[in-house]
Amino acid sequence: MLTVLGVISIFDDLDSIINNLIHWIKPGGKLFIHGMFNPLDVDIFVKYRLSENFDKKEYESGWNIVSQKTISNLLLSKNVKNIKFHDFKISIDLTKNLNDPLRSWTEKMEDGTRQIVNGTCLKQPQFILEADIK
């Protein structure tokens, strides 16, 4: 079993990352990835910079939100089976840190649930992906 927590969204090239993960799992093992996966068929690749660096032409990568369909198709192409997405619900409040606008915080929704957000102004659709390695 291999567990990956919150780092998939850093990478623009998922193919090499998935290949590496599969390499480290024995046949019959499980892969669990906690991350942001879009339930709609849209892949989002984010580039950002802090406004204090407005004069620099450099942007950072991260906070990508790949669709469940894309990650599923990638895993299926590598003979990974039984792919499931489990909703991730956070039950605690995370406070906004004005000194670190990229650190995630929670906002309460009308129904009492919490939505995870950060300074990119993107909602974070958090899921736990579960899959079997052949």
70/5 Cα distance (integer angstroms) = 19
- pLDDT at position 129 is 98
Q: Are 51 and 64 in contact (CB under 8 A)?
A: no
**Position 40 in a domain:** yes
Domain count, the chain: 1
- Residue 24 falls within a domain, yes or no? yes
Per residue in 83-104, pLDDT (tens digit) is 999 999 999 999 999 999 999 9
* CB distance 45 to 12 below 8 Å: yes
Averaged pLDDT score across all residues of the chain: 95
Q: Is residue 96 part of a domain?
A: no
Looking at residue 71, its pLDDT comes to: 98
Tell me the whole-structure pTM to 2 decimals. Answer: 0.92
Query: Is 7 inside any structural domain?
Result: yes
Q: Report the pLDDT value the prediction gives residue 28, as an integer from 0 to 100.
A: 94
CATH number at residue 28: 3.40.50.150
pLDDT computed for residue 57 by the predictor: 86
Cα 34 from Cα 58, distance rounded (Å): 28
In a domain, 95, yes or no: no
> Can you state the angle between helices 14-23 and 68-77, rounded to 10 degrees?
50
Residue at 113 is within a domain: no
For residue 102, being part of any structural domain is answered with no
Angle value at C-alpha 126, between 22 and 10, nearest 5 degrees: 55
Classified as helix, coil or strand, 36 is strand
Domain extent, residue 69, equals: 2-89+124-133
Residue 75 counted as domain residue: yes
